[in-house]
Each structure stands twice: as C-alpha cells, then as structure tokens.
Structure 1
C-alpha cells in the first residue's frame, strides 16, 4: 500500500479537518445528552473540547508516515478511546470540568498532550492486546478530575512499560486482594516466601511481579529483596497500581483464550503449585 493510501485509511471514523465549528456543533449535541441543565452546560463545554481535540489529533496523525502495523495500532486506540468516551457520555457521565481541556499561552491542553502520548505509546506497542487498555486508560482519565496532568502522563508512561502479562498479574492479585476481605476470607495463596523459584514460567512471573513491586505498582507487607523472595499472600495492588487497575478497567479484561492460560500460570505461581517445565 502506498503511503498516501495509508494516510487516507489510517482511521476510518476520523473527522475531516474542517476547523472547530463542526466540533462545536457535535460537542453541543453530546453535551446536551448529559442530564440536567447544569450537567448539559458543563458537559457541553467539555464535550466540545473533546470533539475538537480528536479532530486536531486525527488531522495530525494523518500527516504522519506510519508503517502498516503502527497505523493499525494507533487507529485502534484512537477509535476505541473515542468510542468509550461517547459511550460514557451516552450513559450520562459528565466529563471532567477543569483546566484539563484548557489551552494557555505556554502549552496546549493536557487532554491533547495526553492523547498524543497515548497514541505514541500505541504506535510503539508490539503487544497488540495491550492497546484496548491504553484506550480505556485515556478515556477514563477524561472523567476523573482527581487525576492531575502530571499524574495522567505518568500513568500513560507506566502503562506503556507494562507487559500484557503484568496487566493480567494486576487483575489476579486485585481479585485475590478482594477475596481476602470477604466473610469468611478466601486466601488460597502461598503463605510463605519463596526461597528459590524454578521453572521457566515461574521464574518469568516472579521477575515480572518483582518489577511491579519496584515500580510501586504492587506492595507487600514483607520487604521483597529479589524475585525469589516473594510471599504471594502478602501482595497487594497499591498507589499507581490502583489507579491503573481502576482506569484501565482491569476488573473486566477482554476475553481471550491466551489470557485464560496466562492467568492460570499466574495463579499456579501465587498458590505455590508446580508448573510444567
């Protein structure tokens, strides 16, 4: 496919570069869907900014030269993020009404900056199953005013660094963390630290858990000095990990046969069972 054709087909549903007028009209219609006069007024302003931002970035993307796989990944995240935002607004959820969408004399809006960062992360992401979670992260940040610009940028950077299996690890450990709060509590996890870890899968999972611990995404009531010193029963999702879990909607991961196998291996490590070599 020629580069000109790639640019034309990069994102099927991207708005034409027709300036802010069309965005203002569309934004007003979206904002009016938010319940109540106050919600409509605040939502209309934010929704107009969102429409204009997606137009701006859509036009910017179309100017760039991307390899076919990069085009696919960027287009997927762009379209999915836009779809999720529209779904939330249709559900009468109000976008954040703060300076996140404002442009000042020294910088462009945080929302636009973050969208570019998210799309750049998608462009370089070789694990394509991660792309939906990048889209979820971006879309949800636009509805959470407690997430500041610096925090939002850091979360995208952290998400970019995670492997698909580390995302699954967050899901598994958060699920077990919740299970421990039940009455009676459920905690089938290994109750003591590994003295050593053996087996290809276990070694890899231990290394990825330790990496999450060093990134302060996972915490433990016992200090972990290396990948071999993990006590699964003490692991919790903390700090930025909690933000990632919530904003990437990891309580509802995309169904996939490979994911089932990955999570089974993670659970075998967490309960201390032997895995196939």
Structure 2
C-alpha cells in the first residue's frame, strides 16, 4: 500500500515580520514496515535538517527577509512494506540504540500531569505486568470518558483539564493516556503523525501513544481504540504534544496572525 500526503500550512500577518524561526517535525523516517519513497518539504526561508535526541528528523526554517506571510509545504509518499505474516506486529517497535532510556518517558510534563482521581483510575486498570489487551481496554475507557469533540480544547489543554471536561480530540486522548500510563509505572511517549483514509479531515494529522510493555513499544490509538497498523504514518515521538508539534515557532514583528492548514492523506 502506498500513502500520499499533502500538507500545506500558511501564515498571514497584519504587518511585516522582521525575523521568524520555525521548528518543523514534518519528515518521517524509514521504519520497520514503512519506507519513505519521496518527501519534499519546502518553506519560505533557509532550511536546516538534523536529528534530535529521540531520533526524530527536525527541520529549522529561518526567515530573515521582511514578509507578511510564510508558507510551508509537504508533499510525499510512503509505502507500507507489511506482509500477511507481520501484520500482527505492526504496532510493535523495538528500542533503537540512539534513543534515551525508556525511563525518560516516566516523567510527567506540564501537559501530562495526573490528579489523584486519575492516579487511582490508572492503578486500578494497568501495571507494568499488564497484557496488551489491558492497554486497549484503557484506551477504550479514555475514549468513553472523553467524547471526541473538536473545538472544546486547545494546544495548551492539559490532561487534567481534558479529563475533567470529558471531551477533546486525539491530542487530549493521547495526553490522558500518557498521564495514566506514567502514573501506573509504564513509560509512555506521544506520537505525532498522519492517519490515512479517515472520513473526518481533522484526523488526517493525528496523535497516538507508544507504551513500553514487555520489552517493546506498543503503539495504541486511543481515539480509535486500536493498535496501529499500515495507515498510521509516524512523524515524531516525544514527551508530549509541545515537544513534537508539527509546526512551532517564534517571530519578531508581524502583529496578529491567521493560519490556514490543508491536509490530505490517502491511499
């Protein structure tokens, strides 16, 4: 299966910017089961690419010329290499040598703190000895509690806020899963990526969670109550959304801004 991605981001400013720098987690890497056939990332400015501490491909986009707009374009194609014999393990990833110790992902962040109710909930359902089925049951519990509702949360919404609100989107599902797993002693990391074939266009850019269990990272999509497979394309892993948001930056000047995003992911 081949998956085509087209991801366009455009910023308009009310005045000229003097300087802007963007951190882009918009480039997937070859991984077991997926091969990047072509990938073109373009932006208005100078681009530099490197690997971060977690092995993600991160691009820095620097714009030094006065401008009232900035565009970032991604066009690419990824091929699934899965065979009928390895489909059952598509959600399972080994730790690679350059990655930090898994214990790094036990530490809560500002977005993934848990309150006392959440800690009790987590410890009553999972532990480091849990089978994979209990991770899926926990994902279903979270999705039951947090109704998928676009627009009621934002990028700064914490796991506690989403838990108390009882609604959110995939980012909130992921943050709550991280908070619960870490509270129960399971290392867990945020995954940013694409999901092909979704009826809701808002889900083309997606978020899910890797949980360290029995010597492997197990990749769980809380929003869809399932383990990941061919249609999930990974862009970056980190401690939370803030660590690996697809586009994040700062600028001097420009005044108020508006952002337009168009994403198409299909196979």
Normalised by the length of structure 1, the TM-score is 0.23
Greater fraction of residues in helix: 1
Greater fraction of residues in strand: 2
Normalised by the length of structure 2, the TM-score is 0.24
